[in-house]
Chains A and B, each alone.
Chain A
Amino acid sequence: MHIVDGALSNPVVIGGAVAAASGIALGLRSLDIDRLPTAGVLSASFFVASLIHVPIGPSSIHLILNGMAGLLLGWAAFPALFVGLLLQAVFFGFGGLTVLGINTVNIALPAVVASVLFGRLIARGTPLQGAIWGGVGGAFAIAATTGMVAVSLALSGDEFLPAAKLVFFTHIPVMAIEAVLTGFAVLLARKVKPELFVKGVTT
């Protein structure tokens, strides 16, 4: 899901950086002293969760869980996911430096939108109903992220169109798995710590 340096055109890279900066600024504003440790620990958990490999057929995929990040963090998902991407690029060489902005937007914006759309639905009703909406939110976030990756590639030139389509279609199984996992994660959280989604952690 990472885009690397050199693939995108300058307007896309610059636009991404500006959008990411505004998202991060909004997210930081929503973090006060009491929420800072929560956001930090959650940011670390999503970093660790992204290292979990889930088997699918003969291959395996790694989790992204940006939908879940959005549900728990709201706008703070922007700085939290940015920090994760920064650490991945610097210490593990995934992604790139000039594309940090666009990569952050592609992952964090769907997270925030998912929390706006599905946040209330997940907190309402029985835990099972919440879990189903959680699954829908998880699938939505991945679909939106791959869609945005495809759009950022397509905007950079028509020659990327086949690659953009391929990114989208190869990620359909990822969407399904993220949906199921997010659903069960919400189910567990609703049962173990029901107040989590009711008041939200950071919103």
Chain B
Amino acid sequence: MAHILGQQDKTLAEAGGRPEGLISPLDPRMRIVMAVVFAVVTVALSSLTALCAALAVSLSLLTLSRLPWRKTLKRMAMMDGFILFMLVLLPFSMPGDPIFTLWGFPASWQGFWKAVEIALTANAVILSLMVLVGTMEPVTLGHALHRLHCPEKLVYLLMFTIRYIEVLREEYLRLRAAMKVRGFRPTTNWHTYRSFGYLVGMMLVRAIERSERILGAMKCRGFTGRMLLLQDFALTRRDIAFVAGLGVLCTGLIILEFA
């Protein structure tokens, strides 16, 4: 499911070749659990020192993973683009001590720091998530969630989705190529919207028909509603060291918050 974002934008792990960092050999289950623990701890923080420390932890995880810095941080910055407007508005919408006045609207220090706090939290969490969990093979993620006792059907749904994203994306590109060959160029007009609507409709109709064939093929091979997920995981000493290390750091963050 990697090439979704376009040729240049593969998932991070594939973009840099398989990174042989210190993160990828670790037990996927522990990586998921610790990513959640780290996220919950970070969201609970509110002091700037603690939040900067949390971002530092994420950045050091990034270093350990040997993912390409620029690409990873660029992807993180993409998310910041989405929330930028909210962060820019905050100083103006929160009452407090004024910094400056823009067109009669006072900007407050309280609002500014709140915006900084949100930006630090969001970036620290998403970066650690991408480094710890995003470096897995998508299929491994499914297996690990299964071993962590996620509902079976949800895991199957996840596996189906992962399996077919790439197939359907190719189908989408085929349909787009067919449209292009017939001289379709998207602009802002009714014809474009109608064509895109038909495109979406066609994709969905084809997807449903495909799923009927898949079900037929699976039943023919004896599918009874259970898929065997064979990948097994074993905890090694290294995993325990990782859990303990990140656990200590999380405790440190909490202490920093209340110190």
Contacts and interface: CB of A to CB of B under 8 A. Distances in A.
**Binding between chains A and B:** yes
Interface of A: 2, 4-7, 13, 24-25, 28, 31-34, 36-45, 47-49, 51-52, 54-57, 63, 65, 68, 72, 79-80, 82-84, 86-87, 89-98, 153, 158-163, 166, 177, 180-189, 192-193, 196, 201
Contacts of A87: 1, 138, 158, 161-162, 165
B35 interface: yes
A5 B122 contact: yes
A49 to B, nearest CB: 6
Contacts of B39: 5, 96-98
Contact of B164 (A4, A44, A84, A97): A44
Contacts of A52: 172, 196, 199-200
B126 A5 contact: yes
Given A40-B164, A96-B122, A180-B194, 17 more contacts: A4-B82, A4-B118, A28-B151, A31-B157, A33-B223, A37-B215, A44-B168, A45-B168, A52-B199, A83-B158, A83-B161, A87-B158, A94-B78, A96-B39, A97-B35, A98-B39, A188-B205
Contacts, number: 260
6 contacts: A48-B169, A52-B200, A96-B125, A181-B196, A188-B201, A189-B204
Interface string B145-169: 0000001011011111111110111
Contacts of A80: 157, 161
Contact of B187 (A28, A49, A55, A187): A55
Question: When A and B form their complex, which 10 residue pairs have the shortest distance between CB atoms, in order from nearest?
Answer: A40-B160, A184-B197, A6-B121, A188-B201, A185-B201, A4-B122, A44-B164, A159-B94, A33-B225, A41-B211
B21 interface: no
Given A181-B196, A201-B208, A89 B218 contact: no
User: Which of A39, A43, A48 gathers the greatest number of chain B CB atoms within 10 Å?
Assistant: A48
Given A55-B187, A180-B193, A93 B160 contact: no
A91 B93 contact: no
Given A56-B188, A161-B93, A162-B92, A38 B126 contact: no
B82 A97 contact: no
